[in-house]
Amino acid sequence: MSGPLVETRDVEKRFDLGGYFWQQDKPVVRALNGVSIAIEKGESFCLVGESGCGKSTLARCIMGLLDLSEGEVFYKGEQIDRLSAKAMMPYRRRMQMIFQNPYASLNPRMTIQKTLEEPLRFHFPEMKNGEVRDKVEEVMTSVGNDPAWGTRYPHEFSGGQRQRISIARALMVDPDFVVADEPISALDVSIQAQVLNVMMDARDSRDLTYLFITHDLSVVRHFGTRVGVMYLGALCELAQTKTLFDTPRHPYTQVLLNAIPKLSTTELIHTPMMGEVPTAIKLPSGCVFHPRCPYANERCSREVPAGTTLDDGTVVACHAVEENRI
């Protein structure tokens, strides 16, 4: 197969905030402003950014959980963003999602067995009971869960166990592409490692492609093959993980990398960033980062930067990098 597995082209998403019908310009949240990414097969593509930067919105747009305002989404070269629910069905089987909070994403009134069987019964109604049970057992074992858990309910499990059950549920229908939206942020440190390991094992044994959304850059360094950094609904840098951590180009990426708490024997030194995160209702003109950027000039406040591809393949949307000012 040639071409990326999943691709977005200039995706925009706006949320209307109501207002009155006579109002000329009603308030609109501009959550995504022209985001283009291409995820190759076998990648663990990470999206990072602060809350409100649009990373979860992008994931939901890709999964078809939200309608796009502008732009296109492709899966193996086929456009999937304007499909009817019925036409979307085969893609839903191939694209699965793991959510952040394992306490909210499992139905408390369904046994684990039921929870895991449901996607199979839905996508493969012709499957026999025995086959379904075998499949549940196989997937449960592969994520390190005891298949005997089937008769129990979600409240009987700890956070890490629940998250492994959510992973099992996503893997039930043999997807190619899994979106994981902050899958480990709600878990304890020692459990985070367990869940990450399960996800990496599944990637290797099942040939999965991940879109991994997180705000934790230390996890990205460990898990990701490529990273997209988002700020206020725009992609500011897209690079190989190692390149991004060794030579962060975009000023925002540099700030973000400096902010990671590191295990150290020296005291915290912090250089604060100017200003606060603006809201997506009133986006700054030009480059959205310019009011907080130390390298901003007049052009930055006027012109939206387009992505520049550098020699090592990194794409940076920054006038200062383009003009070799930094």
Partner 1 sequence: MALLEVKNLGIEFPMRREVLRALQGVSFSLDAGERLGIVGESGAGKSIAAFAIINLLSKPGRINAGEILFEGRDLTVLDDNAMRDIRGNRISMIFQDPMMTLNPVLTIETQMIEVLKAHREISDNDARKIAVEKLREVAIPSPEDRLKSYPHELSGGQRQRVVIATALLTNPSIIIADEPSTALDVTIQAGIMALMLNLCKSHDMGLILITHDLAVVSQVTERVVVMYAGRVVEEGPTADIVTHPKHPYTRGLIAALPQEGTAGKRLNQIPGSMPTLDAIPDGCAFHPRCPHADDVCRASVPEIVKVGNQFSRCVKATELAEENSL
Binding stretches for partner 1 (CB under 8 A): 50-51, 158-161, 188-194, 196-197, 200-201, 215-219, 221-223, 241-242, 245, 255-256, 258-270, 272-273, 276-277
Distance CA 274, CA 53 (A): 17
Q: What is the DSSP string of 77-91?
A: TEE-TT--HHHHHHH
H-run or E-run covering 15: strand 6-16
Q: Closest approach of Cβ 161 to partner 1, in Å? A: 7
Whichever of 110 and 273 has its CB closer to partner 1, that residue is 273
Q: Closest approach of Cβ 157 to partner 1, in Å? A: 10
Report CA-CA distances (Å) from 77 to 6, 11, 128, 208, 259: 8, 16, 33, 18, 38
Whichever of 64 and 248 has its CB closer to partner 1, that residue is 248
Beta strand pairing call for 95-98 and 44-48? unpaired
Q: Closest approach of Cβ 323 to partner 1, in Å? A: 25
Q: Closest approach of Cβ 184 to partner 1, in Å? A: 10
| Residue 189 φ/ψ, nearest 5 degrees | -55, -50
Contacts of 129 (CB under 8 A, 6+ apart): none
Number of CB atoms found within 10 A of residue 323's CB = 12
Whichever of 1 and 268 has its CB closer to partner 1, that residue is 268
Whichever of 240 and 308 has its CB closer to partner 1, that residue is 240
Whichever of 138 and 201 has its CB closer to partner 1, that residue is 201
